[in-house]
Protein backbone atom coordinates (compact mmCIF):
# COMPACT_ATOMS: atom_id res chain seq x y z
CA UNK A 1 0.00 0.00 0.00
CA UNK A 2 2.83 2.37 0.87
CA UNK A 3 4.46 2.08 -2.55
CA UNK A 4 1.14 2.82 -4.24
CA UNK A 5 0.58 5.78 -1.92
CA UNK A 6 4.03 7.14 -2.73
CA UNK A 7 3.21 6.93 -6.42
CA UNK A 8 0.13 9.06 -5.72
CA UNK A 9 2.19 11.73 -3.97
CA UNK A 10 1.87 10.53 -0.37
CA UNK A 11 4.80 11.99 1.57
CA UNK A 12 4.51 9.81 4.64
CA UNK A 13 3.17 12.40 7.08
CA UNK A 14 1.81 11.01 10.35
CA UNK A 15 -0.38 10.48 12.27
CA UNK A 16 -3.12 9.25 9.93
CA UNK A 17 -6.92 9.42 10.05
CA UNK A 18 -9.72 8.35 7.71
CA UNK A 19 -12.76 10.51 6.94
CA UNK A 20 -15.94 9.05 5.44
CA UNK A 21 -19.10 10.62 4.02
CA UNK A 22 -21.54 10.35 1.15
CA UNK A 23 -20.03 10.78 -2.29
CA UNK A 24 -21.08 13.97 -4.11
CA UNK A 25 -23.44 13.51 -7.04
CA UNK A 26 -21.37 15.64 -9.40
CA UNK A 27 -17.84 15.03 -10.67
CA UNK A 28 -15.80 13.17 -8.03
CA UNK A 29 -12.59 14.65 -9.37
CA UNK A 30 -13.76 18.13 -8.32
CA UNK A 31 -14.28 16.88 -4.76
CA UNK A 32 -10.92 15.15 -4.52
CA UNK A 33 -9.17 18.16 -6.04
CA UNK A 34 -10.76 20.41 -3.40
CA UNK A 35 -9.43 18.04 -0.74
CA UNK A 36 -5.95 18.11 -2.25
CA UNK A 37 -5.95 21.92 -2.35
CA UNK A 38 -6.84 22.17 1.32
CA UNK A 39 -4.32 19.45 2.23
CA UNK A 40 -1.55 21.26 0.40
CA UNK A 41 -2.43 24.53 2.14
CA UNK A 42 -2.48 22.78 5.53
CA UNK A 43 0.67 20.77 4.77
CA UNK A 44 -1.14 17.46 4.99
CA UNK A 45 -1.17 14.32 2.88
CA UNK A 46 -4.48 13.16 1.44
CA UNK A 47 -5.69 10.30 -0.72
CA UNK A 48 -9.37 10.04 -1.58
CA UNK A 49 -11.52 7.59 -3.48
CA UNK A 50 -15.03 6.26 -3.84
CA UNK A 51 -16.17 3.08 -2.10
CA UNK A 52 -19.72 2.32 -3.18
CA UNK A 53 -21.71 5.45 -2.37
CA UNK A 54 -19.11 6.72 0.09
CA UNK A 55 -16.20 9.07 -0.42
CA UNK A 56 -13.28 7.92 1.73
CA UNK A 57 -10.32 10.21 2.46
CA UNK A 58 -7.08 9.14 4.12
CA UNK A 59 -5.42 12.14 5.75
CA UNK A 60 -1.83 12.17 6.95
CA UNK A 61 -0.08 14.64 9.21
CA UNK A 62 -3.05 15.78 11.28
CA UNK A 63 -3.34 15.52 15.03
CA UNK A 64 -6.85 16.96 14.69
CA UNK A 65 -8.94 14.75 12.39
CA UNK A 66 -12.09 16.66 13.31
CA UNK A 67 -10.45 19.88 12.14
CA UNK A 68 -9.62 18.30 8.79
CA UNK A 69 -13.12 16.84 8.56
CA UNK A 70 -14.66 20.28 9.09
CA UNK A 71 -12.71 21.62 6.13
CA UNK A 72 -13.71 18.64 3.99
CA UNK A 73 -17.37 18.49 5.09
CA UNK A 74 -18.68 20.73 2.29
CA UNK A 75 -17.10 18.42 -0.29
CA UNK A 76 -19.36 15.55 0.76
CA UNK A 77 -23.00 15.11 -0.19
CA UNK A 78 -25.63 15.64 2.55
CA UNK A 79 -25.48 13.12 5.35
CA UNK A 80 -23.07 12.16 8.10
CA UNK A 81 -19.35 12.87 7.85
CA UNK A 82 -17.29 10.70 10.19
CA UNK A 83 -13.69 11.29 11.29
CA UNK A 84 -11.93 8.11 12.35
CA UNK A 85 -9.48 8.13 15.24
CA UNK A 86 -5.82 8.82 14.54
CA UNK A 87 -3.34 5.97 14.05
CA UNK A 88 0.44 6.03 13.92
CA UNK A 89 1.02 5.21 10.26
CA UNK A 90 -0.51 4.48 6.90
CA UNK A 91 -0.05 0.76 7.56
CA UNK A 92 -2.55 1.08 10.42
CA UNK A 93 -5.11 3.25 8.64
CA UNK A 94 -7.50 0.32 8.27
CA UNK A 95 -8.25 0.62 12.00
CA UNK A 96 -9.30 4.24 11.54
CA UNK A 97 -11.20 3.32 8.38
CA UNK A 98 -13.11 0.53 10.13
CA UNK A 99 -14.14 2.92 12.92
CA UNK A 100 -15.16 5.65 10.47
CA UNK A 101 -17.15 3.26 8.26
CA UNK A 102 -18.84 1.75 11.31
CA UNK A 103 -19.70 5.25 12.52
CA UNK A 104 -21.07 6.14 9.10
CA UNK A 105 -23.28 3.05 9.04
CA UNK A 106 -24.66 3.72 12.53
CA UNK A 107 -24.85 7.55 12.56
CA UNK A 108 -28.57 7.60 11.76
CA UNK A 109 -29.21 6.19 15.23
CA UNK A 110 -28.13 9.61 16.62
CA UNK A 111 -30.36 12.11 14.78
CA UNK A 112 -28.76 15.05 16.57
CA UNK A 113 -25.18 14.11 15.79
CA UNK A 114 -22.98 17.03 14.71
CA UNK A 115 -21.51 17.12 11.21
CA UNK A 116 -18.74 16.11 11.17
CA UNK A 117 -18.63 13.78 14.14
CA UNK A 118 -15.83 11.66 15.55
CA UNK A 119 -16.11 7.89 15.32
CA UNK A 120 -15.38 7.79 19.06
CA UNK A 121 -18.43 9.95 19.75
CA UNK A 122 -20.54 7.27 18.08
CA UNK A 123 -19.35 4.41 20.29
CA UNK A 124 -22.85 3.57 21.62
CA UNK A 125 -24.43 3.52 18.17
CA UNK A 126 -21.55 1.53 16.74
CA UNK A 127 -21.77 -0.97 19.59
CA UNK A 128 -25.52 -1.36 19.16
CA UNK A 129 -24.89 -1.95 15.47
CA UNK A 130 -22.60 -4.88 16.25
CA UNK A 131 -19.16 -3.24 16.17
CA UNK A 132 -17.02 -5.37 18.49
CA UNK A 133 -14.23 -2.78 18.67
CA UNK A 134 -16.72 -0.17 19.94
CA UNK A 135 -18.10 -2.62 22.49
CA UNK A 136 -14.60 -3.34 23.78
CA UNK A 137 -13.82 0.36 24.12
CA UNK A 138 -17.01 1.01 26.09
CA UNK A 139 -16.16 -1.88 28.39
CA UNK A 140 -12.48 -1.05 28.88
CA UNK A 141 -12.81 2.75 29.11
CA UNK A 142 -16.07 3.04 31.05
CA UNK A 143 -17.55 -0.17 32.44
CA UNK A 144 -14.45 -1.75 34.00
CA UNK A 145 -13.11 1.41 35.71
CA UNK A 146 -16.53 2.05 37.25
CA UNK A 147 -17.07 -1.55 38.34
CA UNK A 148 -13.65 -1.67 39.97
CA UNK A 149 -14.65 1.09 42.41
CA UNK A 150 -17.53 -0.98 43.77
CA UNK A 151 -21.26 -0.75 43.19
CA UNK A 152 -22.07 2.79 44.30
CA UNK A 153 -21.17 4.57 41.08
CA UNK A 154 -22.97 1.98 38.98
CA UNK A 155 -26.14 2.22 41.03
CA UNK A 156 -25.96 6.01 40.83
CA UNK A 157 -25.93 5.91 37.03
CA UNK A 158 -28.85 3.48 37.09
CA UNK A 159 -30.81 5.77 39.39
CA UNK A 160 -30.10 8.86 37.30
CA UNK A 161 -31.27 7.05 34.17
CA UNK A 162 -34.38 5.66 35.87
CA UNK A 163 -35.47 8.68 37.88
CA UNK A 164 -34.19 11.51 35.72
CA UNK A 165 -32.49 13.84 38.18
CA UNK A 166 -30.32 14.28 41.24
CA UNK A 167 -33.10 14.75 43.80
CA UNK A 168 -35.26 11.79 42.75
CA UNK A 169 -32.16 9.63 42.35
CA UNK A 170 -30.99 10.52 45.85
CA UNK A 171 -34.39 9.58 47.28
CA UNK A 172 -34.34 6.25 45.47
CA UNK A 173 -30.83 5.55 46.77
CA UNK A 174 -31.63 6.77 50.31
CA UNK A 175 -28.67 9.15 50.27
CA UNK A 176 -28.26 12.93 50.37
CA UNK A 177 -28.34 14.80 47.07
CA UNK A 178 -24.78 15.98 47.70
CA UNK A 179 -23.70 12.35 47.86
CA UNK A 180 -25.13 11.85 44.38
CA UNK A 181 -23.30 14.95 43.16
CA UNK A 182 -20.04 13.65 44.63
CA UNK A 183 -20.53 10.30 42.93
CA UNK A 184 -21.26 12.03 39.66
CA UNK A 185 -17.95 13.86 39.86
CA UNK A 186 -16.19 10.55 40.49
CA UNK A 187 -17.93 9.01 37.50
CA UNK A 188 -16.69 11.86 35.32
CA UNK A 189 -13.14 11.55 36.65
CA UNK A 190 -13.01 7.82 35.95
CA UNK A 191 -14.79 7.70 32.60
CA UNK A 192 -14.43 11.19 31.07
CA UNK A 193 -18.22 11.21 30.66
CA UNK A 194 -20.43 13.46 32.77
CA UNK A 195 -23.81 12.09 33.90
CA UNK A 196 -24.92 15.73 34.07
CA UNK A 197 -25.01 15.79 30.24
CA UNK A 198 -27.91 13.83 28.69
CA UNK A 199 -25.85 12.52 25.78
CA UNK A 200 -23.00 11.44 28.06
CA UNK A 201 -25.41 9.79 30.50
CA UNK A 202 -26.74 7.84 27.51
CA UNK A 203 -23.19 6.71 26.68
CA UNK A 204 -22.63 5.63 30.29
CA UNK A 205 -25.90 3.71 30.31
CA UNK A 206 -25.09 1.86 27.09
CA UNK A 207 -21.60 1.04 28.40
CA UNK A 208 -23.11 -0.47 31.56
CA UNK A 209 -25.62 -2.50 29.57
CA UNK A 210 -22.96 -3.90 27.25
CA UNK A 211 -20.62 -4.62 30.12
CA UNK A 212 -23.33 -6.49 32.00
CA UNK A 213 -24.15 -8.55 28.92
CA UNK A 214 -20.48 -9.49 28.70
CA UNK A 215 -20.48 -10.67 32.30
CA UNK A 216 -22.95 -13.43 31.43
CA UNK A 217 -20.18 -15.41 29.72
Cα within 13 Å of Cα(29), Cβ side:
0
For 14, the domain range is: 2-122
Q: Are 84 and 17 in contact (CB under 8 A)?
A: yes
Indicate whether 40 belongs to any domain. yes
Indicate whether 127 belongs to any domain. no
Together in a domain, 112 and 152: no
Together in a domain, 18 and 117: yes
Indicate whether 26 belongs to any domain. yes
For residues 146 and 189, give the distance between their C-alpha atoms in angstroms, rounded to a whole number.
10
Together in a domain, 11 and 96: yes
For residues 99 and 207, give the distance between their C-alpha atoms in angstroms, rounded to a whole number.
17
Together in a domain, 91 and 173: no
Together in a domain, 71 and 161: no
Together in a domain, 144 and 43: no
Q: Give the 3-state DSSP-derived string for 65-84, with helices as H, strands as E and coil as C.
A: HHHHHHHHHHHCCCCCEEEC
Has this prediction a pTM greater than 0.85? yes
State the burial class of residue 94 (Cβ atoms within 10 Å of its Cβ: 0-12, 13-18, 19+): middle
Together in a domain, 20 and 99: yes
Together in a domain, 20 and 76: yes
Together in a domain, 93 and 163: no
Task: Output the domain CATH number for residue 47.
Answer: 3.30.70.2730
Together in a domain, 118 and 20: yes
Together in a domain, 115 and 138: no
Q: Per residue of the chain (217 residues), give pLDDT as tens.
A: 544 554 445 666 789 999 999 999 888 888 889 899 988 888 899 999 899 999 999 999 989 999 999 999 999 999 999 999 999 989 999 999 999 999 999 999 999 999 999 999 999 999 999 999 999 999 999 999 999 998 999 999 999 999 999 999 999 999 999 999 999 999 999 999 999 999 999 999 999 999 999 876 5
Give how many domains the chain has, as a whole number.
2
Q: Which of 94, 122, 150 is the last residue of a domain?
A: 122
Amino acid sequence: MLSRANALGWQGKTPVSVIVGNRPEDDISRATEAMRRYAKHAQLDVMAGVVGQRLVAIVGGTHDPMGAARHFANVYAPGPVIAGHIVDSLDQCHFSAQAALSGFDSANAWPGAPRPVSSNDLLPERALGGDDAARELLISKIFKPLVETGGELIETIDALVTYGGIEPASRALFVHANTVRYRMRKITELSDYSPMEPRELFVLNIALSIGRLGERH
